[in-house]
Chains A and B, each alone.
Chain A
Amino acid sequence: MEGNMNLKLKIWRQKSTSDKGAMKDYQLGGVSPDMSFLEMIDVLNDKLIREGDDPVTFDHDCREGICGMCSMFINGEAHGPNRGVTTCQLHMRSFKDGDTIYVEPWRSAGFPVIKDLMVDRGAFDRIQQAGGFISVNTSGRTMDANAIPVPKEDADKAFSAATCIGCGACAASCPNGSAMLFVSAKVSQFALLPQGQPERKERVLNMVKQMDEEGFGNCSNIGACEVQCPKNISLENIARMNREYLMANIKPEN
C-alpha cells in the first residue's frame, strides 16, 4: 500500500429500498492523499470482498465530474466539503490522517434508495420528458445554423445553465427537498435562446407540474442548492423560472 492515512468511515448500508438501513463503521488504512474519494471507496471494497463482506454499492461512471452519476453525502454535504466539484473529483488530500468521515446517500423524497449509497433519480428523467426539449424533428432539414444569430451574452448564459449534470445534489441539499435549481436550469437554457421561444410557456408549466407530481418540495430561497451544486448553477435561474411560470399563468396566450 502506497498511502499512509488512516480513516474511520461511517457508511450508510441498506440492502434494498424496503430495508431500513443503518450506519456502519469501518477502519481503513493505506489511503494516499492523491486518491480520489471514490478510489478510497474502491480500496475499502477490495478489502471487504477479500474478507468475505458485501462491498459498498455506489453510483459512479466517468470519474471526471461530468456524467453526474456519483452522489454521496459526505460529512453532511453533497459531494463533500469542496465547492464546484463532484465526489469523483474530491481527493483525499482534502482530509487528514485520523479523520472520521460520514458517507450517506442523497436523502430526498424524490430519490428512493436502491442499495447503500445508490438512489433512484428517475424523477429527473421524467421531468425532462415532460418538456425539457425543443420540438424539432431530427431530420437535419432545419435552417442553416447561422441563420439565427444569438447574442453572445444570451448564448453564454444559456450555456452556463445547460452545464447542469443532473446529479441531484441540489434537491438532496435542500431542506425542503426542492428540485427547482435542476428544473430551472433547463427552463432557463431554452428561455434564453430564440429556438426555445415557441414552446416557452407550455414548457415551464409542464415541467413544474411534473416536478410537483414527483414529490419534490418548494423553494424558499435558502440557497443551499447553489452552494452545493458541483457545476455552480446560479440561483438566478430559479428567479427566472419563477418569472417564466408567472408569465405563463397570467398570460397563457401570447
Chain B
Amino acid sequence: MKLESRIPEGSLEQKWTKYKNTARLVNPSNKRNIDIIVVGTGLAGSSAAASLAEMGYRVKTFCFQDSPRRAHSIAAQGGINAAKNYMNDGDSTYRLFYDTIKGGDYRAREANVHRLAEVSANIIDQCVAQGVPFARDYGGLLDNRSFGGTQVSRTFYAAGQTGQQLLLGAYSALSRQIGKGTVQMLNRHEMLDLVVVNGKARGIIARNMITGALERHSAHAVVLCTGGYGNVFYLSTNAMGSNVTAAWKAHKKGAAFANPCYTQIHPTCIPVSGDHQSKLTLMSESLRNDGRIWVPKKKEDVEAIRAKKLKPQDIKEEDRDYYLERRYPAFGNLVPRDIASRAAKERCDEGYGVNATGEAVYLDFSSAIVRYGKAQANVKGLANATHEQLVELGTEVVKEKYGNLFQMYEQIVAENPYKTPMMIYPAVHYTMGGLWVDYELKTTVEGCYACGEANFSDHGANRLGASALMQGLADGYFVLPYTIGNYLADEIRTGNISTDTPEFVEAENNVRQQLESYFKTSGKNPVDYYHRRLGKIMWEKCGMARDEEGLKWAIAEIKKLREEFFAEVRVPGSMQGMNPELEKAMRVADFIDLGELMCLDALDRNESCGGHFRVEFQDADGEALRKDDEYNYVAAWQWTGDASKPNLVKEPLIYENIKVQARSYK
C-alpha cells in the first residue's frame, strides 16, 4: 500500500482555493441519482448529511441512538475556535494554523490544518444564521474567551454547553432535510460492516437494534463520522455508547488506521470515586480561564487535608504551589492539555494529591470570584463593598459563565465549588488518531470517507481545546461537500447499486456468524467485566506515561484477555429484538483488537510527542522529547488478518512553512 496524501500544489494559502477551483463537479440532475451513506450524527455527520442532501444527493444516515440529536458532540462544553479576530488581539488565520500545528507537537499535516483555519470563520457565520445562541456582550455582539495553547481569545461559546448548541444547530439543518425527504434517517441502527465491491466502498451492513434484523444498504460512497475510540479505556469522558466498531470494520476492509497511540488525556475531570464508576465527567478547559490549579507546598498540609483536618481554604497563599504558573509562566494555567495533565500526574506521583486516593489537584475560583466582584462593584458604584459583597457579586458572574458545569460538579461530588475548590484529575477524553485520510478526507478504501474525530487528520499528537467542534463542522459543512464530488463525478454512470451481489451476501453472513458466536459459549462473566479489565491495562500501560516494558506486558495481557473474552463472555438473550449486551459484546471485541494496535503503535514510536509520552524520552525538566529525524511521520497501520501483526506504512510529514522546533510554553 502506498499512501497518497493528494495535497494540492502551490503556496499554503492558495492550496484550498486552487483545489476548489479545479475539483470536478457533479451536475444537479446527476446528483439526484447518487446515493451517499453517512454513519453517525454528531457534528461531522449531521453537518455532512444536511449539506450533501441540500446539494441534491440522496442521503441515508444512521445513528445508534434513538435520535440524531443525542450524538456525543452534544456533551462538548467549552467552545469552538475561529480566527475571526473580533477581539482585535492579533489573531489571524495564520496564527490559528500555527497554534494548531504547534499544539499538535508538529505531527499534523500543514495543508489540512491551514484549510481548517481558513474555513473556521465561516462556521461561526453559518451557526449564527441557523440561530445558534452563542454568548453575547451587552452591545449585542459575540463574546469570546481563551483556551489552552493560545495567547488570543478566539473561542466562541454558549455557557458550558457549546457542543449542545452547535449540535442542535446541525440537527436542525438535518431535520429540515429529513422533513423534505432528502435524507432518510435510520435511528437505532448500528453499522457492523463495510461492503467493498471491486475495491470501492459500496454500502454497509447495519443491525436494526429494535428488531435485531441485519440490513443491507448500498450507496456510491460511504462517509464515516463515528467519533473517537476513547472508550477503549472503559473509563473516559465519552458517552457509554461511543465505540470504534464502524471505523474498525472499515479498517478490516482495507482502511489504514493512523496514529492510534495519540490519545488525549484531559487535565480537568472529576476524579474516580470507586469501582462502580461507569464513566468520567469533564470539567471544561474554559474553567482554566478563571480557575487556578494548585496543590499544597508542604507534605504535612497534604496529610492534614486527606485526613480532613484542614480544608483547602485554610492553606495560606504562600503555602500553595500553583505549579502550572510556576513551571510555565508565559501560558500559566492555559498550557495545552497534554502538558497540564502530565504536570498534575507529576505532582500526584510526588505525593501531593489532595484526595483519599492521592489522585486529585485543586481548581480554585476564589481569586476570580473576588476579581469579578470588584469589577461589578465598580460598575454598580459600590465604593466600600465588603469582602462578602464582592464574593456575592463575583459568584454571580462566575455562575453566568460556567453555571451548568458547577451544577454538574455539585451533583456528582456533593460539594459546592463556589465555596470549596474543585478537585480534578486527568481522564481520557479524545483520540487524535483515527482512520487515515488524504487531503480529500478519503480513506485508503476508494469511496469511503472519514470526518471529524473518526479521522486522524488535523490535530497531530495533541488537540487544542475548542478545536474538535471546529474540525467536526469544518469537515461536514465545508470540506467533504467539495471533495466528495471529485470522486462521485466518476459515478454518474454507475446507476443503482444492488444489495444482492456476493459481496453483500458474504458481509451479512460474516456479521451473522460473529453475532451467533456469542450465544454458543456457556459464559461466565458479563461483557463489562472484560471491558473494565481492558481499560485498566490500557490506562496503566498505554495512558499518560508509557514505556517499552509496560507496553510489551500490555500486549501480552491483551492477547490473554482476547482468548478469555471469546471463550467465556456471557451474552444473555438472542439475536432477535433489543439486546444491549450483544451490542456491547460486538464493540468490546473491536476495542480489544484496537487496544493491541495502540500498544504496538506506542511501542514503535520511540519518542515522546504530544499525548504520547514515553518515559524513556524526556528532557531534564520532564518535558516530551521528540525525535524529528526518525519519527516525523504519520504511522498508518494496515490490517493483515492477524491483529497482532499489522503492517506499518509511513507518510512523511513535510514542513514547508513552519519551522519545526522544540515546543515551549515557558
Contacts and interface: CB of A to CB of B under 8 A. Distances in A.
Partners in one complex: yes
Given A129-B178, A130-B179, A195-B128, A62 B69 contact: no
Contacts of A65: 408, 411
Interface stretch (B559-567, B574-582, B637-645): B574-582
Given A39-B278, A124-B67, A129-B175, A114 B210 contact: yes
Interface in B188-213: 210
Contact of B276 (A39, A84, A155): A39
B126 A61 contact: no
Interface string B341-364: 000000000000000000000000
Interface stretch (B164-172, B486-494, B503-511, B607-615): B164-172
A240 to B, nearest CB: 15
Contacts of A120: 66
A158 B133 contact: yes
Interface in B457-483: 477-478
Q: What secondary structure prevails in chain A residues at the interface with B?
A: loop
A189 B50 contact: no
Contact of A64 (B126, B165, B168, B408): B408
B130 A136 contact: yes
- Most chain B CB within 10 A, of A64, A124, A193, is at A64
B528 A62 contact: no
Nearest to B523: A49
Interface string B12-40: 00000000000000000000000000000
A226 B450 CA distance: 41
Contacts of B126: 136, 138-140, 142
A162 interface: yes
A67 B76 CA distance: 11
Max chain B CB contacts within 10 Å: which of A62, A135, A158? Answer: A62
Nearest to A143: B125
A72 B478 CA distance: 39
A150 interface: yes
B220 interface: no
B119 interface: yes
A148 B125 CA distance: 10
A218 interface: no
Interface string A27-71: 000001011101100110110111011110101111111111100
B379 interface: no
B175 A68 contact: no
A253 interface: no
Contacts of A20: none
Contact of A132 (B172, B407, B570): B172
Q: How extensive is the interface on chain A, given as a class?
A: 35 or more
Nearest to B580: A57
B307 to A, nearest CB: 19
B570 A50 contact: yes
A135 B50 CA distance: 12
Contacts of B159: 159
B84 interface: yes
B622 interface: no
Contacts of A67: 65, 70, 72, 74-75, 239
For A124, A143, A144, A162, the residue with the greatest tally of chain B CB atoms inside 10 Å of its CB is A162
A134 interface: yes
B173 interface: yes
A202 B362 CA distance: 51
A149 B141 contact: yes
Contacts, number: 218
A52 B161 CA distance: 41
B411 A91 contact: yes
A148 to B, nearest CB: 7
A175 interface: no
A57 B580 CA distance: 7
A61 to B, nearest CB: 4
Nearest to A46: B526
Interface string A80-112: 000011000101010000000000000000000
A57 B142 contact: no
B127 to A, nearest CB: 8
Interface in A180-215: 189-190, 193, 195-196
A50 B571 CA distance: 10
Interface residues of B, number: 84
A129 B241 CA distance: 25
Given A65-B408, A85-B411, A152-B137, A36 B278 contact: yes
A234 interface: no
A52 B122 CA distance: 55
Contacts of B163: 66
A190 B132 CA distance: 9
Nearest to B281: A64
Given A43-B276, A162-B165, A89 B129 contact: no
B618 to A, nearest CB: 34
Interface in B120-159: 122-131, 133-142, 158-159
A146 interface: yes
Interface string B395-408: 00000000010011
Contacts of B407: 84
B533 interface: no
B137 to A, nearest CB: 7
Given A91-B411, A91-B412, A150-B140, A42 B128 contact: no
Contacts of B75: 62, 64, 66-67
B51 interface: yes
B175 A146 contact: no
A62 B239 contact: yes
Nearest to B179: A129
A128 interface: yes
B572 interface: yes
A115 B578 contact: yes
Nearest to A50: B526
B416 to A, nearest CB: 15
B279 interface: yes
Nearest to B178: A129
A3 interface: yes
A137 interface: yes
Given A125-B67, A140-B477, A38 B176 contact: no
A39 B277 contact: yes
Contacts of B282: 64
A138 B165 contact: no
B133 A155 contact: yes
Contacts of B274: 2, 32, 34-35
Contact of A195 (B129, B139, B241, B573): B129
Q: Which of A36, A130, A196 has the most CB of B within 10 A?
A: A36
Interface in B96-138: 119, 122-131, 133-138
Nearest to B282: A64
Contacts of A115: 577-578
B175 A149 contact: no
Contact of B278 (A42, A52, A128): A42
A89 B75 CA distance: 14
A171 interface: no
Contacts of A128: 69, 171-172, 175
Nearest to B407: A84
B84 A3 contact: no
A134 B130 contact: yes
Contact of A121 (B67, B68, B130, B173): B67
26 contacts: A34-B273, A39-B277, A39-B278, A42-B278, A49-B570, A50-B570, A55-B572, A62-B70, A62-B75, A64-B279, A65-B408, A67-B74, A69-B66, A122-B67, A129-B178, A141-B122, A142-B125, A143-B129, A146-B141, A146-B142, A151-B140, A152-B136, A155-B134, A155-B140, A165-B164, A195-B128
List the 10 closest A-B pairs by CB distance, nearest first.
Answer: A149-B140, A140-B122, A129-B179, A133-B172, A142-B129, A159-B133, A145-B128, A61-B239, A133-B176, A49-B526
Given A128-B172, A129-B179, 7 more contacts: A35-B274, A85-B411, A133-B172, A136-B129, A142-B128, A150-B140, A158-B131
